[in-house]
Amino acid sequence: MSNSKITGTGCYIPTVIQGNDKFSDHQFLNEDGSKFEAPNDVIIEKFKSITGIEERRYAADNYLTSDIAFFAAQNAIENSKVNPEELDYIILAHNFGDVKSPGQQSDSVPSIAARVKHKLQIENPNCVAYDVLFGCPGWIEGVIQAHAFIKAGIAKKILIIGAETLSRVVDKSDRDSMIFSDGAGACVLESTNESDSGILSHASQTFAKDEVGYLFFEKSFDLNANPDKKYIKMLGRKIYEFALNHVPQAMKFALEKSGKDIDDVKKIFIHQANEKMDDAIIKRFYRLFKMQAPENVMPMNIHEFGNSSVATVPTVLDLVLKGRIENQQVNKGDVVIFASVGAGMNINAIIYKF
């Protein structure tokens, strides 16, 4: 039975840099519309110490999610050297579709994947393009779906993209607006007969009974704003606790399914959500094996790029594979973990051998 492996990666890093200092004149409000007592410089410094974010990237006003997804897709296709006409599927993960600047109604018809296929000028009607809505773990889930198609023998070459323009759905009066950013990452997954390389195992979970409302769409904290216009909102403390309790267990489950040992793991590519949270997840994961986390096991770029949701994992993967993150590399034979957590609440993990 065939397996699947990544043959090319690509990303698009938006050009508009939004440093923390750009938030110094914002009026941050509590949920009830009241003002924060602390001055903005104190709020921003505390934010940086928790999240690790010093700046983030925003897409230029003339680019939509489908545009930056197309740029990342082009890079991945070129890197893989695959003929686009031979792609069996284009799977695109996002959460808000195309949102025009400065932030209007979301547009997802036709699908963002179909728009990318159009931009790539692929004529083959058997290249099926569809979207995945799975919160921040969407790109990893797209890879898992692509892997299933390849294992089933119904596909050989699949393009998986994660793209988002969160800067257009943030409430500027909400402190959490400083977390979110824009970006796009992609990979090409192809069939291989190498049973001991590529995707070795995976795990996915959805916790929706009590946790479904931890990330949601709601009106601005500004009581004078249009109440019909919605923005991304989150219960940060609940997400933090949820992630620490569940993500390490999902990673452990996937690793045990793979038959690999914890000592085999060389890198963990985790969703760049919050530096403090990601660090705590990794430490708790290794404690499950009565070990301390190795130094440099988790490549990070959140300090520079912020949280771009579905784009974070494929972006950091592409940058590491192309030698663009200092002191981080992946060698042939290395076992790595991809992991993410996000709205749903959804969790997933992949064990992959290069």
Are 99 and 64 spatial neighbours (Cβ–Cβ below 8 Å)?
yes
Tokens at residue 40, please? 């903005």
Quickly state the pLDDT bin for 283 (edges 50, 70, 90). very high
In angstroms, rounded to a whole number, what is the distance separating the alpha carbons of residues 245 and 113?
33
pTM of the model: 0.95
Q: Is residue 194 over pLDDT 90?
A: no
Cα–Cα distance for residue pair 314/163, rounded to 1 Å: 10
What is the distance between the alpha carbons of residues 296 and 298, in angstroms, rounded to a whole number?
6
**What band does 260 get if pLDDT is binned at 50, 70 and 90?**
very high
Domain boundaries, the chain: 3-195, 199-353
pLDDT at 104: 66
Q: Which amino acid is at 241?
A: E
Q: Which residues contact 179 (CB under 8 A, 6 or more apart)?
A: 51, 53, 273, 274, 306, 307
141 half-sphere exposure, CB direction, 13 A CA radius: 24
Task: Please give the pLDDT value at position 1.
Answer: 61
In the chain, which ranges are E strands? 3-12, 16-19, 55-58, 89-93, 128-132, 157-165, 182-192, 198-206, 215-219, 230-234, 265-270, 335-342, 346-353
Looking at residue 103, its pLDDT comes to: 64
Does residue 215 carry a pLDDT above 70?
yes
Write down the pLDDT at residue 312: 98
Quote the pLDDT of residue 70: 98
What is residue 5's predicted lDDT score, i.e. its pLDDT?
96
With bands split at pLDDT 50, 70 and 90, how would you rate the model's confidence at 305? very high
pLDDT in tens, 75-134: 999 999 999 999 999 999 999 999 987 766 788 899 999 999 999 999 999 999 999 999
Predicted pLDDT at 261: 96
Bridge partners for 91 per DSSP:
130, 160
- Whether the CB-CB separation of 185 and 10 falls below 8 Å is answered with yes
Could you tell me the fold of the domain covering 199-353?
A: Peroxisomal Thiolase; Chain A, domain 1 (3.40.47)
Phi, psi of 330, rounded to the nearest 5 degrees? -125, 130
Write down the CATH number for the domain with range 3-195.
3.40.47.10
- Position 195 scores a pLDDT of 76
| Mean pLDDT for the stretch of residues 216-237 | 90
Q: What is the mean pLDDT of the chain?
A: 94
Q: Do domains 3-195 and 199-353 have the same CATH topology?
A: yes
Contact 118, 90 (CB under 8 A): no
- Report residue 25's pLDDT band, with 50, 70 and 90 as the boundaries: confident
Please report the pLDDT score of residue 136 as a whole number: 97
